[in-house]
Amino acid sequence: MQKLVIASNNAGKLREFQTLLAPLGIEIVTQAQLGISEAEEPHLTFVENALAKARHVSLACGLPALADDSGICVHALNSAPGVFSARYTGLPSSDERNNLGLLQAMQAHTDRRAYFYCSLVLIRHAGDPTPLIAEGAWHGEIAHQASGDGGFGYDPLFYLPELGKSSAQLDHDQKHAISHRGQAMRVLLEKLKVRQAHEG
């Protein structure tokens, strides 16, 4: 695999992927660079949406594709926003509006537990019957107010009690070491190594 298309137009995710995939020495291109439209995300699970995005991109360009579907799940909200995290307060997507919407939804709740969840899917071609799938979960709480200016999405509201910081207050290396996407990527890379060893 010499070239890999990232099935995302999210600038924050793309930066993280570039960092996490750097050790592989694979040429990384984005769907936007290839003029590929966004895929539909009609499913109710992260893994199904990630598969849909990877297949959409690979079908359009004929290259291997890596897709991520991730979001924040809040216990008190029956796991919402979940797969609707990016469009929680409607489209076009707005991190600021989504964070305000989540704070408002949490006003009546004392249980602040939440977790970020990520499903990664890597396919060799659009019809790949054995995609590599990896998942990660990162547990924390919803803060009462935003803090930090790093990261993206709900990072300013995702509080980590053991560190006394929000996700948006972590530096890149710290975040990659413990985040849902970092966890999933390490699992995916391990599965890729195993596959490559078997296939020579």
Q: Tokens 């991730």 belong to which residue? A: 70
Q: What secondary structure, in 3-state letters, does 79-140 show?
A: CCEHHHHHHCCCCCCCHHHHHHHHHHHCCCCCCCEEEEEEEEEEECCCCCCCCEEEEEEEEE
**Do the Cβ atoms of 45 and 73 come closer than 8 Å?**
no
d(CA 66, CA 58): 9
**Do the Cβ atoms of 69 and 47 come closer than 8 Å?**
yes
**Do the Cβ atoms of 113 and 60 come closer than 8 Å?**
no
**Do the Cβ atoms of 154 and 98 come closer than 8 Å?**
yes
Torsion-angle region of residue 88: left (phi > 0), alpha (psi -120 to 50) or beta? Answer: alpha
Q: Which of 68, 69, 95, 171 is catalytic?
A: 69
Q: What is the DSSP letter of 65?
A: E
Annotated active-site residue 69? The verdict is yes
Active site residues: 69
